A and B are shown apart, each in its own frame.
Chain A
Amino acid sequence: MTVSLRLFRAATTIIYLMATVGALAAMGLFCLFLVAVKDLPRVPEPIGRINDTPATEIFSADGRRILTIGGRETVALDDVSYPFIQAILATEDHRFWEHRGVNKLRTVKALWITLFESGKIQGASTITQQLAKNLFFSFDRTYVRKFRELLVALQIEAQFSKQEILEAYINQIPFGVGAYGIGEAARTFFGKPAGGLNLAEASLLAGLPKSPTRYNPFRYPERARARQHVVLERMVATGMISREEAMEAEAAPVDLRTQGRSLRVDSYFLDAVMKTLEETYSPEVVYHGGLRVYTTLDVGMQQLAETALQQGITQLESQMDMIDSSKDPVVADDNGLQGALVAVEVNTGAVKALVGGRDFFQTPYNRALQSNRQPGSGFKPFLYYGVLESLGKTPADVMVDKPVAIPVAGNPPWKPRNFERTYNGPMVIKKAFTESVNTVAAQLVSAVGPDAVIRTARRCGITSPLGSVYSVALGTFGVSPLEMAAAYATFASGGVRHPPFWIRRVEDVSGRVLEEHIITGERVLNESVNYQLVDMMSGVIDEGTGNVVRRMGFALPAAGKTGTTNDYNDAWFTGFTPNLSTSVWVGFDRGQGMRDKNGAGITGGRGAAPIWAQFMKQATEGEPPRTFMAPPDIYFKKVNPETGSLAGFWTRDPVTVAMRKGHS
């Protein structure tokens, strides 16, 4: 056999082989088609109306829209700027006007690379295929899914015009920051309609759908500009614009919308609102029903709260030498030092500001609502109210600060100690309260009983589980900052409890009212006894453990209580003016103790009170001083802090106490 004969024979064999493979592939494709076509999804018609879902909008107390969920805005193709159409076509599918749903050459090339070049996956989806994927399929990368997607793309091409397909596509692609579709993206990023985009803006936006998070221009402007360069290069390469136009667009400044640039500060609040809505109306209604939700959020106050908490925690971290938390993994919690702040309007219970942590996107765990942390001495007001009401004691009665051992049936005696480990002997009750003396509190709870403390706490709105043990008076059972803020608001309002709320009104898309919050107030505490307690709590701020508030320049009449737990795991300060009650908590999620570089513990007065003071100072700026209203049977007297007897001019550091007529 000659060489040429052998070659010819081999060539013939190859041709036969190829023909066989081709025939088999065609048969395989046909079989695959028969299988895939069976449960292929139905394509809706018209395809341009696919986004027609009403949006759920959430508004702040002053009527500003703070969040929109769903409800895509459909923009007609004619109303979209031509540079954007060019840019998106050049980037995603420059042969869009020519193909019939699939770019065969690119598909074969991509298939080859994916099959024969290990570790590489090449995409070749046309705009129609992307539309099919977004409308019907999951994002699983399987060959069957790709084939089904291809078939739907072929149908879309056969059923709709190119204009309809392109319009549907640009109205549903994600651009990031919650913006879906070109209309929303143009407004979110540039504050203008889709028809007003210039080449620079259009090319920036056209680059985003590839990876909306990675190229987010608010967070990563350099990456976004680099991606814009790629888009402009593609436009030049496809002949849509000239090199000069591309250079001009690249050099042009891009004015991103300022308001959209700032990160959300109200995410924890909105998270709470969403959870409440979902529980009340079901997720389907919330995300697809188009609700108008009017909340109690004061946007300005929320920003102040966020800033105060961030700055306060950063300052604490610097005191604790924790700026680079990775340096000391033993000290640092996974989420680092955290905090929460809740501000409640006293006379209504409306939550004006709520911060549940340092960064919602880092840790969405809402510490303002979900975290139940021991309040420490922050729980003492419930004890002292019970003592004044049930035992008939007055703030001028004398107790002795001394080591105590309270007998507990069936258990070793309870021996609470003062934080300072010192004992100051006799003192009036008001002084014991303002200086947060644990031994006096222990004696009082053994006299009044833990149930009285729990009863008062429940009357004020504390709902967390509380055990009937003496230590409940020293705050050994967890509560949330929201509970504390709302419970203290009961003291601030003269003993009238207003349940906290954050949704004022909910309407449907037509404005029909579905729900309205009714501001109910229930008198739960005796007004005069409550006033005596508020007077004692004012002492905490004026001369007690929360005095840092005054040192920081907060001058309005206010009352409050610090709270610190064992090993400095939690630092609390909850306080109020006659209008606003605010609770601040600082600590680690896993409860590591907080100590500064010198080993000194971070107390409520040091860790939480400064945050409270900074927030309240700004939140109440411009408010006229308003004192707590004293009931008619209240009178004041100055007493000796150690003996409780009427103070004379010679008495050193006399204490002013509020007394009830007939109860002296």
Chain B
Amino acid sequence: MPAWSEPQDLKTWMVRGLSFRGTVLFLSVIAILISEVRFSWVEVLVGRYLAVTNSHRPESGSVWEQGRLKQVATQTLEQMVTQQLTAQREAREATSLTQLIDGLSTSQGTMISAAQFKTLYSQIPDVAARTLFSPILMLRISADKSWDRVYMERENGQVGIYLLDRGNNVLSYTTLTEQQLKSTGTESPVLAGTLDGQPEFAGRIYAADRFFMALDTLSPETQQGVLSQPRTLLAAEGTPVRVGISDEVTADMIRIGVEMDTPQGRQVLLTMGQEWAVWQVRMLLEPRLSKPSSSKSIWPLRREEQ
């Protein structure tokens, strides 16, 4: 049942449907649609709106993610390279081997030229130099001409020094402990405390007067072999109390510790002696070490109580 308001004939329908307002509205919609199809103004408007608001939107999506990853990569690499360059610069500027080694980080080593290493090597005392590489070995490697660089790194609390050729093959290498490192300095290293605190001297600690009396009886060459720089000891503050001989031999060298009584308390000065020379002092200090036929000691020998 049609509603009472519905037109009852076609004419009334036509009049209502094709009214001026209706026609205008219809044509307007059609015009808008055609102009959109023809000129794509909706796309242009939306596109321009988005372009204008572009800077307010987030940097998301794969291209930005790639950019971020690139940034992370660049920063990481820069950090690594900067650290390396810094280490290399410090290594180049080092005036002593001790300074160079002090500058080594645990995370990365450093590479220096063979020429620089030779310069630093020539500055350290002979006895200390022997603990690194014997001078003859250095001469042999230098003469070989394949020696190109030196790599140094910290490993397990020690410092490894590698003499390398151009192909990174190791020509020779050595590892140094903390104490050996200290002995590469030009000054005698000093440790706070007594010789008893250094396990390497256990069982080989002697009264200083006995040690130096024994040393005084030996030939000047042997004395030089035991203490290459006695003036350094003399110049040190305090009085020698006890002397310890290490149980470790490195490159024919033995460490000697001289316990000093100073106003600041007991200190141990470390120095290096040649094994053959130190052995002669020990034979005097401990006659049981020498053969019975030749063990004629003039000293009232007594082992220092530990």
Q: What residues make up the interface of A, taking CB atoms closer than 8 Å to B?
A: 1-2, 4-5, 8-9, 12, 19, 33, 37, 39-44, 50, 53, 99-102, 104, 134-138, 151-152, 154-159, 281-282, 284-285, 287-290, 348, 504, 508, 512-514, 516-521
| Nearest CB on A from B83, distance (A) | 10
Docked-complex contact B60 and A136, CB < 8 angstroms: yes
Is the beta-carbon distance between B59 and A41 smaller than 8 angstroms?
yes
B70 near A100 (CB under 8 angstroms)?
A: no
- Stretch among B38-46, B92-100, B134-142, B276-284 lining the A interface: B38-46
* With A33-B46, A284-B73 already in contact, 7 other A-B pairs whose C-beta atoms are closer than 8 Å: A39-B57, A40-B57, A135-B62, A154-B46, A158-B47, A512-B85, A516-B111
Q: Known: A135-B62, A518-B168. Contact between A285 and B47, CB under 8 A?
A: no
CB contact between B58 and one of A42, A50, A284 (< 8 Å): that residue: A42
Residue in A290, A504, A512, A519 whose beta carbon sits within 8 Å of that of B81 in the complex: A512
Given contacts A8-B17, A39-B58, contact A288 B73 (CB under 8 A): yes
With A and B bound together, what is the CA distance between A8 and B6 in angstroms?
A: 12
Report how far A158 CA is from B40 CA in the complex, Å. 12
| CA–CA, A33 and B7, complex, Å | 41
Residues of A within 8 A of B70 (CB): 53, 288-289
Say yes or no: A519 contacts B44, CB within 8 Å. Answer: no
Residues in A with CB closer than 8 Å to B37 are 104
A516 B81 Cβ-Cβ under 8 A: no
One of A136, A154, A348, A512 near B47 (C-beta < 8 A): A154
| CB<8 Å pairs between A and B, sample of 13 | A39-B60, A100-B43, A136-B63, A137-B62, A158-B44, A158-B50, A284-B72, A285-B76, A512-B84, A513-B84, A516-B168, A517-B168, A518-B164
Is B51 positioned at the interface, with any CB of A under 8 Å from its CB? yes
CA distance A8 to B64 in the complex (A): 57
How far, in angstroms, from A488 to B178 measured CA to CA in the complex? 36
A41→B61 contact, CB < 8 A: yes
Task: Give, as a whole number of angstroms, the nearest-CB distance from B7 to chain A.
Answer: 8
Instruction: Enumerate chain B residues within 8 angstroms of A290, measured Cβ to Cβ.
Output: 73
Q: Which residues of B contact A37 (CB under 8 A)?
A: 50, 53
Are A12 and B17 in contact (CB-based, < 8 A)?
yes
Contacts of B58 in A (CB 8 A): 39, 41-42
Q: Which chain A residues lie closer than 8 Å to B44 at the CB level? A: 100, 158
Please give me the residue from chain A that is nearest to B44 by CB atom.
A100
- Is B48 at the interface (CB under 8 A from chain A)? yes
If the complex has contacts A39-B57, A40-B57, are A281 and B76 also in contact, measured as CB distance less than 8 A? yes
Asked if B162 is an interface residue, CB under 8 A from chain A, the answer is yes
Q: Is the CB of B54 closer than 8 A to any CB of chain A? A: yes
Interface: B146 (CB within 8 A): no
Expressed in whole angstroms, the Cα–Cα distance for A104 and B37 within the complex equals 8
Residues in B5-37 with C-beta less than 8 Å from chain A: 6-10, 13-14, 17, 29, 37
Q: Which residues of B contact A102 (CB under 8 A)?
A: 43
CB contact between A41 and one of B60, B69, B173 (< 8 Å): that residue: B60
A537 vs chain B, min Cβ distance (A) = 26
Q: How far is the CB of B183 from chain A (nearest CB, A)?
A: 25
- For residue B151, CB closer than 8 A to chain A, the reply is yes
- B71 nearest CB across to chain A (Å): 8
**In the complex where A42-B59, A135-B63, A288-B69 touch, is A5 in contact with B50 (Cβ < 8 A)?**
no
Contacting residue for A42 out of B46, B55, B66, B170, CB 8 A: B55
Report B-chain residues with C-beta under 8 Å of the C-beta of A101.
Answer: 43, 47
For residue B295, CB closer than 8 A to chain A, the reply is no
Q: When chains A and B are docked, how far (Å) is the Cα of A353 from the Cα of B77?
A: 29
Q: Does B186 contact A (CB under 8 A)?
A: no
A506 to B43, CA, bound (A): 50
Q: Residue on A with the closest CB to B39?
A: A100
Q: How far is the CB of A189 from chain B (nearest CB, A)?
A: 25
Q: How far is B61's CA from A285's CA once the two chains are assembled, in angstroms? A: 20
Query: Quick one: which of A53, A135, A157 contacts B43, CB cutoff 8 A?
Result: A157
A-B contact count (CB 8 A): 146
Give A519's nearest chain B residue, CB to CB.
B169
Q: Are B74 and A135 closer than 8 Å at their CB atoms? A: no
Cα–Cα, bound, A95→B6 (Å) = 49
User: Bound state CA distance, A42 and B85, in angstroms?
Assistant: 37
Check A40–B168 contact: CB distance below 8 A. no
The yes or no answer to B213 lying at the interface (CB within 8 A) is no
A348 to B, closest residue via Cβ:
B169
| Bound-state Cα–Cα, A40 to B13, Å | 49
Closest CB pairs A-B (n = 3) = A158-B47, A136-B61, A289-B73
Residues B168 and A158 in contact, CB atoms below 8 Å apart: no
Identify which of A135, A288, A520 contacts B72 (C-beta below 8 A): A288
Question: Contact between B51 and A155 (Cβ–Cβ < 8 Å)?
Answer: yes
Cross-chain contact B51 with A518 (CB below 8 angstroms) = no
Closest chain A residue, CB of each to CB of B170: A520
- Please name all residues of chain B whose beta carbon is closer than 8 Å to the beta carbon of A508 when the two chains form the complex: 77, 81
A104 to B35, CA, bound (A): 13
Name the A residues within 8 Å of B77 (CB-CB): 281, 285, 289, 508, 514
B265 at the interface (CB under 8 A from A): no
Q: Is the CB of A42 within 8 A of B168?
A: no
Residue B80, interface by CB 8 Å: yes
The minimal Cβ–Cβ distance linking B81 to chain A, given in whole angstroms, is 5
Bound: A514/B84 CA distance, A: 8
A631 to B94, CA, bound (A): 43
Residue of B with least CB distance to A159: B51
Chain A residue nearest in CB terms to B36: A104
Q: Is the CB of A514 within 8 A of B47?
A: no
B205 to chain A, nearest CB (A): 35
Which of chain B's residues have a CB closer than 8 A to the CB of A5?
7, 9-10, 13
Chain A's closest residue to B165 (CB) is A519
A278 to chain B, nearest CB (A): 12
Point out the residues of chain B lying under 8 angstroms from A154, CB to CB. Answer: 43, 46-47, 50
Complexed CA–CA distance, A285 and B167 (Å): 26
Instruction: Name which residue of chain B comes closest to A99, CB basis.
Output: B40
Interface-central residue, A44, A288, A290, A517, by most chain B CB under 10 Å: A288
B151-178 vs A, CB cutoff 8 Å, 1 = contact: the mask equals: 1000000000010100111100100000
Nearest B-chain residue to A137, judged by Cβ = B61
Task: Output the least CB separation between A118 and chain B (Å).
Answer: 29
Contact A158–B48 (Cβ < 8 Å): yes
Distance (whole angstroms) from the CB of B244 to the closest CB of chain A: 32
A40, B50: Cβ atoms closer than 8 Å: yes
Q: Contact at A100–B40, with CB atoms within 8 Å?
A: yes
CB pair B60–A518 under 8 Å, yes or no, is no
**A284, B10: Cβ atoms under 8 Å?**
no
Q: Say whether B199 faces chain A, with CB atoms less than 8 Å apart.
A: no
Determine the distance from Cα of A37 to Cα of B69 in the docked complex, in whole angstroms: 25
Q: Give the docked Cα–Cα distance between A504 and B76 (Å).
A: 21
User: In whole angstroms, how far apart are the Cα atoms of A412 and B39 in the complex?
Assistant: 93
Task: Select the residue from B46, B47, B111, B173 with max chain A CB neighbours within 10 A.
Answer: B47
B300 contacts the other chain (Cβ, under 8 Å)? no
Distance A48 CA – B17 CA, assembled complex (angstroms): 55
Residues of B73-110 at the interface with A, using a CB-CB cut-off of 8 Å, are 73-74, 76-77, 80-81, 84-85
Residues of chain B within 8 A of A157, CB atoms compared: 43, 47
User: A371 CB to closest chain B CB, in angstroms?
Assistant: 30
Tell whether, in the assembled complex, residue A44 and residue B63 are in contact, meaning their CB atoms are under 8 Å apart.
Answer: yes
Give Cα distance in the complex from A101 to B169, angstroms: 61
The answer on a CB contact under 8 Å between A53 and B151 is no
A520–B173 CB distance below 8 A: yes
> B168 touching A519 by the CB < 8 A rule?
yes
Minimum CB–CB distance for A269 against chain B, Å: 20
Is there a chain A Cβ closer than 8 Å to B220's Cβ?
Answer: no
Q: Which residue in A4, A152, A517 is a CB contact (below 8 Å) of B10? A: A4
Q: A284 contacts B76, CB within 8 Å?
A: yes
**Cα of A135 to Cα of B60 in the assembled complex, Å:** 10
- Shortest Cβ distance from A8 into B: residue: B13
Q: Does B2 interact with chain A (Cβ within 8 Å)?
A: yes
A282 CB contacts on chain B under 8 angstroms? 73, 76
**Proximity string of chain B (116-156) to chain A, C-beta cutoff 8 Å, 1 when within and 0 when not:** 00000000000000000000000000000000000100000
Measured in the bound complex, the distance between the Cα atoms of B46 and A154 in whole Å is 7
Q: Nearest CB to that of B72 among chain A residues?
A: A284
Which one of A134, A155, A284, A521 lies within 8 Å of B50 (CB-CB)?
A155
